[in-house]
Chain A
Amino acid sequence: MSVMLSLNAIRKTFNPGTANEVRALRGVSLEIEAESFVIVVGSNGSGKSTLLNAVAGSFLLDEGSITIAGQEVTRWPEHRRAKLIGRVFQNPFSGTAPAMSIAENFAVAARRGQPRGLSWALSHRMHAAIRDRVQGLRSGMDDRLDNAIGSLSGGQRQALTLLMATWLAPKLLLLDEHTAALDPKSADKVIELTREVVERQRLTTLMVTHSMQQAVNLGDRLIMMHKGEVFSDVRGAEKKRLRVDDLLARFDAVRRRECLDDSAAELLRKTYV
């Protein structure tokens, strides 16, 4: 199968040379095949969100290169990469324009990565198309297309953002802990919708999550990160067999190895220094 996303030894250090120096990505290499649904998990500060932001172009890399659908995008600014990428953020406020209507938000999304000219943003045809898609959510929002999106709940906004991001099928869908800010019930709904959309449109998806349950239930490949590196990459039948306990065990193992490293270093220091 063809490779949709390829990361080649990417590195990023924030605030280099200061007390706040963070080596967020320490040489991550990854190849993701078209139409695969990849879950990324990791502890806080493991670099999982940074990985997603690097792909999206929120910052430029220190080293390494990124190729999406055969195009090298390493130096592309964020808005140019948007032609290839659909995104949903952790914060429901980031993905929508709260003061504008649902329909207007969709009108902006419908031109993702395309030139925006002086034709009407909301033609009758566009309005009808938006109504069709929003109706698919079966949440009654299709009667409120002209209401400001800011009046909706976080879960509703995330569902709409997901529809907006996939209005034009993206080469790559990036989901950055998109249910983390929601209550459990809304989170379940958004996850269900995510599964539906990804399957129906056969999207190549990279999803960061903090939820071990989601990591086990969703996707066909699982990447585990720790301190800016990928330490485990599970796919196929092994991914299907994976349970939450297995995940926790793997994370424990990494942490224990690290403690051992630290205590071993301490021991050596005491002995020789």
Chain B
Amino acid sequence: MNLLLGAWTIGLIMALLAVGVFISFRVFGMADITVDGSITLGAAVAAVLLVRGINPVLATLCGFLAGMVAGTVTGVMCTRLRINPLLAGILTMTALYSVNLRIMGKSNVSLASARSLGSWCETWGERWFHGSQVPVAGYVAASRDVAMLAAMLIAVSFVSLLLYAFFKTQLGTAMRAAGDSPQMVRALGGSVENYQVIGLALSNGLVALSGALLAQYQGFSDAQMGIGMVVWGLASIIIGEALTGGHSLGLAIVGSIMGSVLFRLVVALVLRWGLNPNDLKLITAVFVLVALVLPRLLQRRKAAATA
């Protein structure tokens, strides 16, 4: 039961990462590797502030803002300095590795004794359920974990709704159009370059937000925690698209969230069955590769069959 609760919670936290990657990858068609650095950046900024005793909500928001700055840097590199988007992402990610170490002062920061969303959930959980343990569907679970899951569910729903609303505004609609047909948006007076920068800022802000929450859930932030995260996000999006067939914006966002949770559940199960955790990233990468190539292969086969 604890395993499932944990998988659900991490899945929800990582859903914000997935939604962030959705913006860069699906809305603007860019593979933005800044993500690997900005998730750690969000965690590092939040952790350092929490250790200093800053209010957890404020610290989390600062993580979000730091991510937006990182995204802006990548965005400016792509648009103003005309650097290949992939390379721009690599540069920012690499630079962020040092920045994160500077922010934390060491390779990891423990939140064990700090006041964080994690410790808040512990208090809330005990107050709601009158004890440190609570029965869930016939199993015993830690009330902290249940409270954490509830908190994340609320946070992720809120952020996703906000994002959905944003993409329905004049600015958000123009941004989506800029990814879909840049020439049209230019002809209609929109600066595609500015929209790309805003998009990357928003994307990395969400990724960093996810990092800030993750640090508080697991109780530490670590310089290595971002490795391979962009692939994780891609996997979630792809699973989401398969689940919802998501062509509309709302379905795509909901799909990314569902994809993230489902992916985490599957990972928890296969680890439980004895999969070596070291192989996880290899398997994730292969999964994304297959998922990207498979539709094209099927299409070719179909074309060959009809020809």
Whether both chains belong to one complex is answered with yes
| Residues of A participating in the B interface, judged by any CB pair closer than 8 Å | 56, 77-80, 82-83, 85-87, 89, 93-100, 104-105, 107-109, 111-114, 116-122, 148, 164-165
> Chain A residues with Cβ under 8 A from B188's Cβ?
82, 108-109, 111-113, 164
Say yes or no: B189 contacts A112, CB within 8 Å: yes
Say yes or no: A82 contacts B189, CB within 8 Å: yes
Task: Name the residue of chain A whose CB is nearest to the CB of B26.
Answer: A99
Say yes or no: A97 contacts B181, CB within 8 Å: yes
Say yes or no: A78 contacts B177, CB within 8 Å: no
Contact of A94 among B173, B184, B190, B192 (CB under 8 A): B184
> Chain A residues with Cβ under 8 A from B177's Cβ?
97, 100, 104-105, 108
Q: Can you name 20 extra interface pairs (CB under 8 A) apart from A78-B186, A86-B187?
A: A77-B191, A78-B187, A79-B189, A82-B189, A82-B190, A94-B181, A94-B183, A94-B184, A95-B181, A97-B180, A99-B180, A100-B173, A107-B173, A108-B184, A116-B170, A116-B190, A118-B166, A119-B170, A121-B168, A164-B188
> Chain A residues with Cβ under 8 A from B169's Cβ?
116-121
Say yes or no: A98 contacts B180, CB within 8 Å: yes
Task: Name the residue of chain A whose CB is nearest to the CB of B181.
Answer: A97
Q: Given the complex of chains A and B, what is the CA–CA distance between A95 and B176 in angstroms?
A: 14
Interface residues of B in 183-214 (CB under 8 A from A): 183-192
Nearest 6 pairs of A and B residues by beta carbon: A82-B189, A97-B180, A121-B173, A113-B189, A116-B170, A97-B181
> What are some 20 contacts across the A-B interface (CB < 8 A)?
A56-B187, A82-B188, A85-B187, A89-B183, A94-B181, A94-B187, A95-B183, A95-B184, A97-B180, A97-B184, A98-B180, A105-B177, A108-B188, A111-B170, A111-B189, A116-B190, A117-B169, A118-B166, A121-B169, A164-B188
* Shortest beta-carbon distance from B25 to chain A in Å: 14
Q: Given the complex of chains A and B, what is the CA–CA distance between A199 and B176 in angstroms?
A: 33
> Chain B residues with Cβ under 8 A from A87's Cβ?
187
Task: Name the residue of chain B whose CB is nearest to the CB of A165.
Answer: B187
Q: Given the complex of chains A and B, what is the CA–CA distance between A165 and B189 in angstroms?
A: 11
Q: Given the complex of chains A and B, what is the CA–CA distance between A118 and B189 in angstroms?
A: 17
Residue B219 lies at the interface, judged by CB distance under 8 Å to chain A: no
> Chain A residues with Cβ under 8 A from B112's Cβ?
none
Given contacts A96-B184, A97-B184, contact A116 B174 (CB under 8 A): yes
Say yes or no: B192 contacts A79, CB within 8 Å: yes
The secondary-structure label for the interface of chain A is loop
* Shortest beta-carbon distance from A60 to chain B in Å: 14
Number of A-B contacts (CB under 8 A): 100
> Chain B residues with Cβ under 8 A from A109's Cβ?
188
Say yes or no: B170 contacts A121, CB within 8 Å: yes
Task: Name the residue of chain A whose CB is nearest to the CB of B191.
Answer: A79
> Chain A residues with Cβ under 8 A from B172's Cβ?
121
Say yes or no: B168 contacts A116, CB within 8 Å: no
Q: Given the complex of chains A and B, what is the CA–CA distance between A123 and B189 in angstroms?
A: 21
Residue B106 lies at the interface, judged by CB distance under 8 Å to chain A: no
> Chain B residues with Cβ under 8 A from A97's Cβ?
176-177, 180-181, 184-185
Q: Given the complex of chains A and B, what is the CA–CA distance between A109 and B185 in angstroms?
A: 8
Residue B247 lies at the interface, judged by CB distance under 8 Å to chain A: yes
Q: Given the complex of chains A and B, what is the CA–CA distance between A28 and B98 in angstroms?
A: 55
Residue B171 lies at the interface, judged by CB distance under 8 Å to chain A: yes
- Chain B 143-171 interface mask (CB, 8 Å, partner A; 1/0): 00000000000000000000000101111
> Chain A residues with Cβ under 8 A from B170's Cβ?
107, 111, 116-121
Say yes or no: B181 contacts A98, CB within 8 Å: yes
* Shortest beta-carbon distance from A117 to chain B in Å: 6
Q: Given the complex of chains A and B, what is the CA–CA distance between A89 and B188 in angstroms?
A: 12
Given contacts A120-B168, A148-B247, contact A100 B176 (CB under 8 A): yes
> Chain B residues with Cβ under 8 A from A122's Cβ?
168, 173
* Shortest beta-carbon distance from B21 to chain A in Å: 18
Say yes or no: A111 contacts B174, CB within 8 Å: yes
> Chain A residues with Cβ under 8 A from B176's Cβ?
97, 100, 104
Say yes or no: A79 contacts B186, CB within 8 Å: yes
Say yes or no: B181 contacts A114, CB within 8 Å: no
> Chain B residues with Cβ under 8 A from A119's Cβ?
169-170
Residue from B172, B177, B185, B187 with most neighbouring chain A CB atoms (10 Å):
B187
> Chain B residues with Cβ under 8 A from A80's Cβ?
189
Task: Name the residue of chain A whose CB is nearest to the CB of B171.
Answer: A116
Say yes or no: B181 contacts A93, CB within 8 Å: yes
